[in-house]
Structures are given as C-alpha cells and as structure tokens.
Amino acid sequence: MRSHTAATLFSSLLMFATASAARAQPLGVFTGHTDVGKPSTIGAGSATYDPATKTYSVAGGGENMWATADHFHYVWKKMSGDVTLEATIAFVSSNPDTGTPVGHRKACLVLRQTLDSDSVYADAAGHGDGLTSLQWRAAKGAVTEEVQSNVVGPKRLRIEKRGSSVSMSIGDPGGPLHPAGGSARVELAGDFYVGLGVTAHDTGRIETATFSDVSIGTPAPATGKATIVNTLETISVRSKDRRVAYVVTQPERIEAPNWFPDATNTLYFNNGGKLFKVQAEPPGTPPNPNRLKAPEAVNLGMLTRINNDHGVTQDGTMWAISDQSQTVNGRRASLIYTVPVAGGAPMRLTGQGPSYFHGWSPDGKTLTYCAERNGNFDVYTISVDGGPEKRLTTAEIEAGGIDVSPDGRQMVFHDHQNSAKPSSIFTMNIDGTQVTPLTTRGHFDLQPVYSPDGSKILFLSDRASPGSLDAFVMDSNGSHLRRIVEGASWPDWGPEP
C-alpha cells in the first residue's frame, strides 16, 4: 500500500543488495536469503526453516516495498519460465516489543528480476492490517502499482506467472484458492528470483512472519472450456491504485459498469441479459463490512436480454436500457427503453432497431444513441417522451461509443463500427455541428467517457500495447494523454472528477 512518507523519501534510488555476502545457506526449497535495499536501523533481517513443521520464519526491517525502491528481507531461489508460489502467511512477532507495529507491514510472495532495490518485480502482499494486494514495478526504477483485493485478511496466497501476465489467488488454509481479480504485465527475463519477503514499513522495527505449506511449481496447463476471470475494479486516476469491487470466473464477460450518481459507491453492470448492482470501495477508503458484496439483480420487468448500453440520469431517477428481448417485425433488434429507478413498467422509445443508448442530456429530457438505419450507423437523439428521432451525423462518420458532456453542449465518440479498421475519437456539438478529431488515425481508440466536470476524457486504446486495450486519460481538448491502466475494458468515471 502507498506510504505518503515513502513517496517523498524515495527521491533517489537505494541499491544495497547484499546477495554477494548472501548467507547462501539452503533453506528448505530456497537457496539463499538477504536484505534487499536498506535494512532496519536496529539490525539485519534473518530467516530460519523448521523441517519438522515445514515452516519458514522470516524477519525483516526496512522502510517499505513501494514507490521506486524496496527495503525488506528476502528468502529466494532462481527460476525461469512460468511459475507458481503459494503459502499460508501469518505475522507472529515484532521487535522491539514496545510501540505499535505499522498496519502496512508486509509479508509477501515475491518474483523479482534482480536483488537491486529498484528492480522489476511482482508480489502477492499480505499487510498487517488485512489489506491484500497484487503489487508490481513494471520497469527498473519505476513506481510501484497495485490491485487491492476486496477480501480482507485471507490467510493463504498464491502468485502465478504465465508469460508476462502475473496474477494473485487467495483463500483459506486447506481450502480452494480463488482469483483475487486483476492482473499485471511484468516482463521477467531469463533467470529471476522467486521467494518470500518481509518488510516492517518502519526503519526502527523488525517484523517476523511465518510461511507454512510453501509450494513452488508451474501453472497447470489450460484444459477444457475456456473461462474468463472478470474483475470489476475502481482506480484512483491520481495514484493509479486499484481496488477490486467484484470478481467472478465464468465463460461470459460482465460488461459496462455505470456508477450510480450518489454517495453509496454503487456500480451497475450487465451479465447474461440482466442488470446487477454491487457496492465498491474505491482506493483510499476504509473497508466497509456492511457493503453489498454479492451482486443483486435489478428487476427490469420484461427486459430480459439487455446489452451493454445502459445509463442513468444525472439525478438518479431514470434508466435508459438497450434490450433485445422483444420481437419486432420478426427480429430481436436492440431497442431503447426507459425504466424508472424507483420501479415501473419499461417505456419503449425507438421504433426501429438496432438502436444503442449512449447518453442522457443533463436535464434528463433527451437521449443520445447510435443506430443503424438503412445499413448506416449514425448518431441520433430522441425526447424522453418519445416521438421522432433526430439524425445528427452522416454515414461517413460511422459513430459509436457516444458520451454527452456534463454541460450538455457537446458529445464525444469514436468512429468506425468495423473492428478491422483503426478508429479515432471526435467531439461534436450537440446539434451535430463542428466535428473535431481529438486523436489521430492509426490506433484503435474506443469508448470515450467524459469526467463528471467535463475536463477530461477516459478511453480505451491499443496505442501502447498492440493487440490489447489499455485505459487512457486525456484533457477534453485532446492534450496531456497518459495511460492509467494496462489491460482494461468498459471504462466509466466515478461521481467525482
């Protein structure tokens, strides 16, 4: 977890790896142990192994494992290729026995390119206060990133590397392990270090943790029907810290999260033709033991085959839903309906399909959507009361992924419905005039969304990782573009900018 103190103190890199003096004494399945970075001011770390109980006891000091440098005690062996490492972890003692251990002390399963303090690495980190995270540094000297689990204090952890993808699983001793959600791309080349690490998160303390039932192996080969680990997570745009809200493994994708516009941190998403809601805990907020942890289905009446185009008015009173459950002229084309949030019968707005909802006007009186008419996809608007639709674009634009600005004056969209063609992001006045490109042709730039204050746009692109979509943020005029998440889909902004 981020330490604000560490973020200021790590302005220069510390490389105190002492592997050459490495006390390279075999410890069970490991071949050596050493302090990485700067040890505690009260002494060096240590490690022992009890063959009778097959338990490793690791004592480590140091300021933290975070930001641009790490300080901890490490028990390790060298490996290459794909690997799994799992163990049951517990903090057992603290030195000195006066004072209070830091809540964010860490006991970790660690994959590491080198023993330099600023090395590329990934770990599954159990914190003293119960926070459990997948953490990584993707480049030497870069700043640590993390995905925080939505489960507090799991006892058994596993870290798994398949190619350049690293993930974490969690569970109880003796029970099955489940994906914790989220993953990271970390390149560990050739031989790298695999092992156990402990940091005190305090230069004046040494913390001791035990690692029992340690297992090192290789991931099981993929067999049978493919499944997807779906993770619904929130991210701080400022710090890039991520926290899992919900994770499920199934053959189908969950899609299109919508934040509800109130203070409950409720997220809505579609899965299997239904709309569900679940509460999130954004990064930086304390765990809420009373939050809704299992998704709850929303009753939409006859709408039983909704797709990934839905959204709620700014005042939180009315849903717009794209649904394919009703047969019209012999087809189940996507049609747009409104449904009161408080409950009530759906009202159909579009007479033709396919029509895909994309945005509400600020006053909740007009809907914007993408629709195919006579073989051409364009942007349309329609009154919440129904009536004739208004076409805003020409077929040459092939607009999709539309979002209306919070002030209702503009919209942002990507062009090209054909997934084989690169797509760009454009803005346009709400009346269909002044179409302006924000990104240049040559990439797949998709699904733009305005921030709540209209100053920024969140979108997906393959510009950093061809063949994979990442989440980017740019200013609403197209400047200051930056990547915030590797490997993402279906972005949306929280209630705050």
Domains and CATH numbers, the chain: 4-217 (2.60.120.200)
166-214 residue pLDDT tens? 999 999 999 999 999 999 999 999 999 999 999 999 999 999 999 999 9
Spatial separation of the C-alpha atoms in residues 347 and 281, rounded to whole Å: 33
> Tell me, what DSSP letter sits at residue 253?
P
Position 311 scores a pLDDT of 96
Is the CB of residue 70 less than 8 Å from the CB of residue 94? no
Q: Does residue 320 contact residue 336 with C-beta atoms inside 8 Å?
A: yes
Sign (positive or negative) of CA dihedral 30, 33, 37, 41: positive
* Nearby residues of 466 by Cβ (< 8 Å), 6 or more positions away: none
> What phi and psi, each to the nearest 5 degrees, are found at residue 387?
105, -165
* DSSP bridge pairs for 372: 377
Task: Decide: 168 and 263 in contact? Cβ < 8 Å.
Answer: no
Q: Work out the number of other CB atoms within 10 angstroms of the CB of residue 159.
A: 24
Please state, for a pLDDT cut of 70, what percent of the chain lies above it.
93
pLDDT digits (tens, 9 = 90+) for 246-299: 999 999 999 999 999 998 999 999 999 999 999 999 988 887 777 878 999 999
Checking if the pLDDT of 420 tops 80, the result is no
Q: What CA–CA distance (Å, rounded) separates 169 from 163?
A: 17
Give the tens place of pLDDT for each residue, 217-257: 999 887 777 789 999 999 998 888 999 999 999 999 999 99
The model's pTM? 0.89
69-96 per-position pLDDT tens digit = 999 999 999 999 999 999 999 999 999 9
Token couple for 303: 């709408």
Q: What digits encode the pLDDT tens for the residues 163-175?
A: 999 999 999 999 9
Helix (H, G, I), strand (E, B) or coil at 48: strand
Q: Which residue has the tokens 């608007």?
A: 381
Containing 7, the helix (H) or strand (E) segment is: helix 4-9
Residues in the chain: 497
Query: Quick one: pLDDT band at residue 11, thresholds 50, 70, 90?
Result: very low
Q: What is the pLDDT of residue 418?
A: 52
Per-residue confidence at 1, pLDDT binned at 50, 70, 90? very low
Cβ contacts of 9 within 8 Å, gap of 6 or more? 63
374: CB partners within 8 A, 6+ apart: none
